[in-house]
Structure 1
Amino acid sequence: MSSPWPYQFVSLSEEDKSHRRALLDLRGQYAQWSIIFAILIVKTIKTSSTFSSGNQPKRSSSSWDRPLVSGWAETRRQYLICGLWLSWLVALSVWNSGEDYLHLTKAVGQVGLSQLPLQVLMSPMAYISSKPATSSVLSVVTGISQSTLTPYHRLFGRIVISPLLLAHASLYMLFFVQSSHPEFGTLLAKRVQDLDVQCGIVALLAVVLLFLFARPRGAAQSGLQSWLMQGPLQERRRMFYFGHVSLVILLGVAAYTHVKQAQRYIIQTLGASILNGVCSWVILRYVEA
């Protein structure tokens, strides 16, 4: 009986590895171009909706605008959109990977990292200011309010980027465990001593912590979260913000050191963060002053 899992550990020539690298780079480009395409669609729909609605009264919200779970801030619609985006990225990772296990492993990591700039561009940079809903770059570009975008920022990190990066790490660990090494027994015992894998483990730890400490707003906090997040609302916001940003920085530094192919996305993410910060500062200083 054949296994439903089609992927295998295959040996590739240098030419085949170069071809795989070209496909991986192309896949990352497609993942980022699809972001621009999606933004254009959203902008078009937003403009058309505004033009056609005119002075018509607002329609009552549908069941899709209700929370997925009672007490959560994110709606069913927001989960659906992020789930569809994750499905697209998974399909893009599988595309043209053949039976090459490492091709799939590298693909989910590259596609996941390619989404970091978008995640930053819709983040509420003024979260700890007196006006936490100040527009991000993506809010300005799409015309969607920051209060609408912020739940997508939370969900995007939790159910799009995190699963892809966790899948990348898990697939690599399984490969290391199942591969033998003449001196260390398993490849895992050898590779955990190498800097690139150590940086990958640090990045994985940062992803897990970001996932654990970015629970749905309004959900009951765990004992650890309740212990860490005490005091007035503004103080808790400040603690969360600096802790969150510190973990993102740790993830970026670890990923940058982990593998050369990640560096372009980390540099793009840094540029997106600077751009988003400048945008928020200008709006706070000159628009909403």
Structure 2
Amino acid sequence: MWKLVDLTDEQKHLRRQKLDAYGQLAQFSALVPLLVVLLFSLVTYSKRKFWSDNDILEPPSSPYIKHRRTGLRAKARTVEISWRRFVWWCGGEVRVGRWAMGRKGDVLGGVAWGLWLAYLSVVETGDDYFHLTKRLGAIAGSQLPLQYLLAMKTPYSPMTSIFRLRPSGLLDIHQTLGRLIAIFMYAHAALYLNFYIQSSILISKLTQFYIVCGVLGVLSFTAINITSMTIFRTYSYKSFYTIHVICASALLPLLYFHVHHIRVYLYETLAIYLFSNATRFFATKTYHNATIRLLPGTTLLDISIPVPASGKEKSTWQPAQHAYLSLPGYPLLRNIRSNPFTNASLPASDSRLHFLARVLSGRTARLAAQASTGSSMSVSIEGPYGTSSHADELLRCGRVLFVAGGVGATFVVPLYRQLLGDLSPSPGSERRQKVKFLWVAKKREEVLWAVEDGGKGFVERLQVYVTGPGMTVDAGAREEAQFVIGGEEREDGIELEERKNLLEEQDVDGKDAEGLHVSSGRPDLRKEVEELFSHGSEERVAVVVCGPKSLARSLRDRVSPYVHKGRDVMFWEESFGV
């Protein structure tokens, strides 16, 4: 049990050495999981590049060698299927009542990392109360550089460029690590508070500058964690992001003046912070010929930006990447004044960048006001961000099912168009029959922008489901329709506000003048998934979904039995979180 002990100067010096050593160990030990991720990425890349099940030499003449090779392949396949099942399990949600706590893999990794940091916080502390108290603070401080590195929004982030981690995955890890840092920081503060109260020196301590800085640092981290909660983010994205940026910036000087022993971590964090902001600044370009309009019959804001034939946008932008848009001016406040939007075009063929957003309040309302003037305007774009290997991944799959809900189609449409073009330039070809796109929209008018962009052949494998006001859902549809309702659905971000009315139907069926296959209501996901997996059991299948969380959750539930049967599935879920 820890207690207050009197130490000699030599013992205090030894304690300081241990505090520094274990803080550095906590920091550098983070390289271990990162190197594991890097090694896994290299092995996966090598397997795809240099070996596949089709790269099999002629069967050996020796029955013994043939039997041995077959046995090894069977064992390898068993291991591979087990690994797929584990990865699939890690992708499932952990829910406590109505609250989503994150993916199982993130929670499992967070618990493991938290236990490791807890071990480093207590080992070799003996019964020294102050050693434990200081160690908790040192461990929390040692994680700050990694936390800011995970939050880095720049095309030059080493997490995406070196370790090949997806931005959405980085966000999940960032949130998990933030909670862990908060726990250790609170424990550090609580132990000091306990000592000050028992020693009757709390009031005098609260008048000292370094203590005030520590208290403000804890309050800043508390504000960051509270406003990062789903309910707050959804209620006011602008408030969340502003508080996040201000408090994260203020945290560094507060901790700097609080204690000098963790300043080495603060210098590292400051370097990462400055690098991130500098690269974001240089990744921003202002376009002076943007056209902004409201799509007729909708609340969708259409932002179109022509790019020159020789512009680098045609080579740098990949399907389904996103950017941060803002009106020009106030460059120092650009991070706070910008919003993320997905590019819905293929710049290489469309010669433009194309963004859509649902008009709510705040910045989108101001952009909508600009749209009413009918003239060109200037827009600042920071990006592109996001994985650039989507199209290559999909080409390695035998069959692909795209599912989009509302404005989630801005992510899916360019992938769908790119894949159709890569498979075959000719509409109606056999290879294109292996692709299907289900789009759930509230109004038919919300789909027409994609038809204009897609050109000939776009509607070939597209099925639209219109769910605007007008009719009720029959009893048999209610179970399948759960993917579009639920109070927690507001967690999907500012681009998906339309999902509230996705259960109500219009009396629409058949093929319209644009060649769209339009149906009323919602798709039968069970039937669609069964059809997807009804072909060859050895082919790899891809399911790409972007829309409300409940849509992705329902689709995942339908796919799950096939993964457990050993099917090779690439399930790509994208949501407009923050």
Residue type at the aligned position of 1:81: G
Are the counterparts in 2 of residues 117 and 265 from structure 1 also a CA contact under 8 Å?
Answer: yes
Q: CA offset at residue 112 of structure 1?
A: 0.6
Q: Which residue of 2 aligns with 1:201?
A: 215
Are the counterparts in 2 of residues 137 and 275 from structure 1 also a CA contact under 8 Å?
Answer: no
- Paired residue for 2:159, among 135, 138, 147? 138
Q: CA offset at residue 138 of structure 1?
A: 1.6
Residue type at the aligned position of 2:177: F
Where 2:111 maps in the other structure, the secondary structure is helix
Residue type at the aligned position of 1:42: V
Are the counterparts in 2 of residues 125 and 280 from structure 1 also a CA contact under 8 Å?
Answer: yes
Q: Which residue of 2 aligns with 1:41?
A: 36
- Paired residue for 2:139, among 106, 111, 119? 111
Q: Which residue of 1 aligns with 2:88?
A: 62
Structure 2 runs not aligned, ≥5 long? 54-79, 286-311, 318-383, 385-578
Q: Which residue of 1 aligns with 2:105?
A: 77
Q: CA offset at residue 282 of structure 1?
A: 6.3
Are the counterparts in 2 of residues 137 and 279 from structure 1 also a CA contact under 8 Å?
Answer: no
Q: Which residue of 1 aligns with 2:446?
A: none
Q: CA offset at residue 178 of structure 1?
A: 1.4
Q: CA offset at residue 139 of structure 1?
A: 1.9
Are the counterparts in 1 of residues 178 and 225 from structure 2 also a CA contact under 8 Å?
Answer: yes
Q: Which residue of 1 aligns with 2:187?
A: 167
Q: CA offset at residue 240 of structure 1?
A: 2.6
Aligned pairs for 1:214-233 (under 5 A) are: 214-215=228-229, 217=230, 220-221=231-232, 226=235, 229=236
Change (3 A) 1:124 1:33: closer
Q: State the alpha-carbon separation in 1 of the partners of residues 216 and 106 from structure 2.
A: 30
Q: CA offset at residue 189 of structure 1?
A: 2.4
Q: Which residue of 2 aligns with 1:29?
A: 24
Q: Which residue of 2 aligns with 1:98?
A: 126
Q: State the alpha-carbon separation in 2 of the partners of residues 63 and 37 from structure 1.
A: 23
Are the counterparts in 2 of residues 135 and 283 from structure 1 also a CA contact under 8 Å?
Answer: no
Q: State the alpha-carbon separation in 1 of the partners of residues 90 and 33 from structure 2.
A: 20
Are the counterparts in 2 of residues 136 and 146 from structure 1 also a CA contact under 8 Å?
Answer: no
Change (3 A) 1:192 1:93: same
Are the counterparts in 1 of residues 90 and 104 from structure 2 also a CA contact under 8 Å?
Answer: yes
Q: Which residue of 2 aligns with 1:213?
A: 227
Are the counterparts in 2 of residues 117 and 268 from structure 1 also a CA contact under 8 Å?
Answer: yes
Q: How much identity, in percent, do the aligned residues show?
A: 27
Where 2:220 maps in the other structure, the secondary structure is helix
Change (3 A) 1:201 1:28: same
Are the counterparts in 1 of residues 140 and 185 from structure 2 also a CA contact under 8 Å?
Answer: yes
Q: Which residue of 1 aligns with 2:355?
A: none
State the TM-score, normalized to the length of structure 1: 0.80
Q: CA offset at residue 278 of structure 1?
A: 4.4
Change (3 A) 1:55 1:241: farther
Q: Which residue of 2 aligns with 1:17?
A: 12
Report how many aligned residue pairs link the two structures.
256
Q: State the alpha-carbon separation in 2 of the partners of residues 38 and 260 from structure 1.
A: 29
Q: State the alpha-carbon separation in 2 of the partners of residues 146 and 135 from structure 1.
A: 12
Where 1:72 maps in the other structure, the secondary structure is strand
Residue type at the aligned position of 1:176: Y
CA RMSD of aligned residues (A): 2.6
Structure 1 runs not aligned, ≥5 long? 1-5, 127-133, 180-185, 230-235
- Post-superposition Cα deviations, 1:195-240, rounded to whole Å, max 9, x if no partner, equal 111111111111111111111x4xx449xx73xx1xxxxxx3x443
Q: State the alpha-carbon separation in 1 of the partners of residues 135 and 162 from structure 2.
A: 29
Q: Following superposition, which runs of at least 4 residues in structure 1 exceed 6 angstroms of deviation?
A: 54-58, 282-286
Moved more, 109-118 or 204-213: 204-213
Where 2:102 maps in the other structure, the secondary structure is coil
More helix by share: 1
Larger radius of gyration: 2
Q: State the alpha-carbon separation in 1 of the partners of residues 24 and 89 from structure 2.
A: 36
Moved more, 167-176 or 42-51: 42-51
Where 1:119 maps in the other structure, the secondary structure is helix
Q: Which residue of 2 aligns with 1:131?
A: none
- Post-superposition Cα deviations, 1:17-73, rounded to whole Å, max 9, x if no partner, equal 111001001011111110223321221122223333666899576232111126638
Q: State the alpha-carbon separation in 2 of the partners of residues 280 and 197 from structure 1.
A: 34
Q: CA offset at residue 7 of structure 1?
A: 0.4
Q: Which residue of 2 aligns with 1:248?
A: 248
